[in-house]
Amino acid sequence: MSAATLTSKGQITIPKSVRDALGVDSGDRIEFIEVAKGEFAIVAASHSVKELNGILRSRRGKPVSIEEMNAAVAKRASRSR
């Protein structure tokens, strides 16, 4: 079990083992989520943009080419005239 001491300014230093387990580093954000009265969960709120890769599924199932994008834009533009 890790422990920290609260300073007079209301600050704590998160123990290295906890920072490592959360995968956080200097400058990262941490959220405190109340799970019960007087009990909080600590959750890393900062994530790398690389972690977002693949979270949205395409309806097509394959990447769209630049040519297909240009054709879709041209088709939509011709409808609005």
* Cross-strand partners of 42: 32
In a domain, 6, yes or no: no
In a domain, 10, yes or no: no
Range of the domain at 23: 16-79
In a domain, 11, yes or no: no
Instruction: State the Cα angle at 52 between 47 and 54, rounded to 5°.
Output: 155
Q: Give how many domains the chain has, as a whole number.
A: 1
Q: What pTM did the predictor assign?
A: 0.52
- Predicted confidence at residue 5, as pLDDT, reads 93
**pLDDT tens by residue, 24-62:** 888 888 889 888 899 998 888 876 666 666 666 666 667
In a domain, 49, yes or no: yes
Residue 28 CB neighbours (<10 A) = 14
- Predicted confidence at residue 58, as pLDDT, reads 61
Burial class (CB in 10 A: 0-12, 13-18, 19+), 39: exposed
**pLDDT tens by residue, 14-26:** 999 999 998 888 8
Q: How confident is the model at residue 64 (pLDDT cuts 50, 70, 90)?
A: confident
Is the pLDDT assigned to residue 79 strictly greater than 80?
no
- Predicted confidence at residue 80, as pLDDT, reads 65
